[in-house]
Amino acid sequence: MQKTEKLILASKSPRRQELLGMICRQFTVITADVDEDRICDGFLDRRDTFADYDSLAAEMVKSLADAKATAVATAVAPLADRVILAADTIVVLDEEVLGKPRDRDEAKEMFYRLSGREHRVFTGVHILAQDRSESFHAEAKVRFYPPDDFTRKCIDFYAAGGSSLDKAGAYGIQDEGAFFVQSIDGDFFTVMGLPVAETARRLYSYLPDLFF
């Protein structure tokens, strides 16, 4: 069996690895395949059972994180004294989830749809240990600048670089995607992919020896 640190990050996202590194240096990255489309479609099929779209989005993103953690737990079983951390992020405009763009043209289309408007970013987190688990989510509201000459040039430049293709909503707030952002209501790190402060506080109860 592969030897791992006590903390396992169930995400191949370099951004989440960077953010978790702010909390703790001792962790291992292990991922497993999850059918994200099936999970999202299942929630959308039950849309009428939720009070509003925000409630649906919150439960959806927590379920995605849960599925990732569970898949990794199955792959490394028995879990013993290890803890798995998983997270997922979605971007919601009006009542639509904007996933990762399929190509550069779709990325540009997403940017123009987001321009001059407010959208919401939901990040769900799941912590899984042998004897307990928990999920939570964080939300931030992000407003993009209205379309103008600078915005259009940024869209062309950013989409052409290709880095938007692996990001929900086609942008990363930690890179040139920041040029689009006029304001944020909420936690910056939630938009980046992991609410650092709350994650650290919750992880502390599982692995206090990894802190300080």
Structure tokens belonging to residue 80: 């013993």
Tokens of 57: 């989005």
The pLDDT of residue 210 is: 86
188 vs 212, higher pLDDT:
188
Task: Choose the weakest-confidence range: 1-10, 26-35, 74-83.
Answer: 1-10
Q: What is the pLDDT of residue 108?
A: 95
Domains contained in the chain, CATH given: 7-210 (3.90.950.10)
Q: What is the pLDDT of residues 118-174, one digit of tens each?
A: 999 999 999 999 999 999 999 999 999 999 999 999 999 999 998 888 899 999 999
Amino acid letter for position 141? K
Percent of the chain with pLDDT over 90: 86
Amino acid at 51: A
Catalytic residue among 41, 88, 103, 187: 88
For 27, phi then psi, to 5°, come to: -155, 160
DSSP codes, 77-134 = ---TT-EEEEEEEEEEETTEEE---SSHHHHHHHHHHHTTSEEEEEEEEEEE-SS-EE
**Mean pLDDT, the chain, whole residue set:** 93
pLDDT at 107: 94
84-100 pLDDT tens trace: 999 999 999 999 999 88
pLDDT at 2: 44
> Is 88 among the catalytic positions?
yes
C-beta of residue 6 within 8 angstroms of C-beta of residue 79: no
Report the distance separating Cα 3 and Cα 106, nearest Å: 41
- Whether residue 90 contacts residue 122, with contact meaning beta carbons closer than 8 Å, is answered with yes
- Cβ contact 206:83 at 8 Å: yes
pTM over 0.85: yes
Q: How confident is the model at residue 103 (pLDDT cuts 50, 70, 90)?
A: very high
What mean pLDDT is predicted for residues 21-49?
93
Joined tokens for residue 22: 């702010």
- The whole-angstrom separation of Cα 73 and Cα 68 is 9
3 pLDDT higher than 90: no
